[in-house]
Amino acid sequence: MTTLNYDQAVSYYDETRGFRPGVSERYRLALRQIIGASADFRFLELAIGTGLIGLPYIIAGDDYVGVDISRAMMRQIPAKLKASAPPALAQADITRALPFADGSFDIVQAVRVFHLLGDWRRCISESRRVLKPGGRLVIVEIRRPSDTASPPPWAIVHHKWGEILSDLGIASEDIRHGNGLTEALVAAHIQTVGGAAEVIDLLSFAEFPVSCRTMVERRAGRMFSNDWALPEDVFSRALRQLYHWLEHECERPDEAVARRMVFRAVIARF
Ligand SMILES: C[S@@+](CC[C@H](N)C(=O)[O-])C[C@H]1O[C@@H](n2cnc3c(N)ncnc32)[C@H](O)[C@@H]1O
């Protein structure tokens, strides 16, 4: 899996992946409480992006360092901070050597990125190296709550898109979102390398409401990273079919529905 270039996502990232007001702040409080963070804890965020998770920490004055491979994504962070001091940010590929000394941080966290990584095991070993003894690695993805079985109505757009691409000869592993990593796989690996891991739902939250039409428009704008490598001709043909489906077969194209989701964390100690 090659590294995905999020420079192309800067202009729409916050609009399409942003949280409702207060969610990031509640996430920070929930994590701090679960890990029992004290005021002097040093945090490192891997793949901080535009700071959707990190900003409340920086604004609250936490000792917080962010890295990302995309300078363009990180450039959004100082722009969002009005009067505060410049944030501590570094460019780095988190699947290679991290630019920090051994034992530098109490907490290393990575939100919404492990599913995109190739050598995620290397990322875990580097995180372990830069953690202080007793420090914790927190790997977070946004997932459906375990108690809600049915997907939201607009999820059918992604299903339909998969069907169309498959009919056009694109293999399912090419259109799968990310590397298919699960909390169970990550936790098992951590145990294999001598650590201990627990899986915890940190916080449940409602997303912004979305309709099928909005999802189709996001596909059309190539806003999903699993479309970035599709050849232009395949993408255009698939899109025509998706619009045809939206106009002629989709039952409620404009009904906007909000999903309830959770921040699900693997919390590891070594
Ligand atoms: C889906 S965004 C998540 C950003 C942020 N954590 C959030 O939740 O909004 C994925 C981020 O991971 C970064 N990224 C992807 N692969 C990376 C790598 N190998 N090293 C460092 N950053 C990477 C991208 O540049 C992008 O900013």
Residue 31: predicted pLDDT: 98
Q: Tell me what percent of the residues of the chain surpass a pLDDT of 70.
A: 95
109 and 46 belong to one structural domain: yes
Domain range spanning residue 133?
A: 1-143+181-207+259-270
Q: Which of 68, 77, 111, 142 to mutate to test the pocket of ligand 1 (most atoms within 8 A of CB)?
A: 68
H helix intervals, 131-257:
155-167, 172-175, 183-192, 212-220, 232-248
Question: Which tens digit of pLDDT belongs to each residue from 81-98?
Answer: 976 678 999 999 999 999
Count of the separate structural domains present in the chain: 2
pTM of structure: 0.91
pLDDT tens-place string over residues 171-188? 766 666 678 899 999 999
CA of 248 to the centre of ligand 1 (A): 37
- Shared domain for 96 and 164, answered yes or no, is no
* pLDDT given at position 177: 61
Residue 124, pLDDT score: 98
CATH number, domain of 190, equals 3.40.50.150
We report the CATH number of the domain holding residue 167 as 1.10.8
- Same domain as 102, residue 220: no
Q: How far is the CA of 244 from the centre of ligand 1 (A)?
A: 33
Is the predicted pLDDT of residue 55 greater than 80, yes or no?
Answer: yes
How far, in Å, are 113, 169, 171, 220 from residue 231 at the CA level? Answer: 24, 12, 13, 14
Distance CA 55, CA 78 (A): 10
Q: Calculate the average pLDDT of the chain.
A: 93
Q: Are both 106 and 216 inside the same structural domain?
A: no
**Whether residue 112 sits in one domain with residue 75:** yes
Give just the sign of the alpha carbon dihedral 215, 159, 1, 127.
positive
Question: How many Cβ atoms sit within 10 Å of the Cβ of residue 4?
Answer: 19
What pLDDT band is residue 149 in, cutting at 50, 70 and 90?
Answer: low
Q: Which amino acid appears at position 40 of this protein?
A: D
Whether residues 116 and 244 fall in one domain? no
The answer on 107 and 62 residing in a single domain is yes
Say which residue the tokens 């916080």 belong to.
Answer: 203
Q: Ligand 1 pocket by C-beta < 6 Å: which residues? A: 3-4, 6, 17, 47-49, 52-53, 68-70, 73, 93-95, 111-113, 116-117
Identify which of 182, 148, 210 has the alpha carbon closest to the alpha carbon of residue 266: 182
pLDDT (tens digit per residue) in 217-251 = 999 999 988 888 889 999 999 999 999 999 999 99
185/247 same-domain check: no
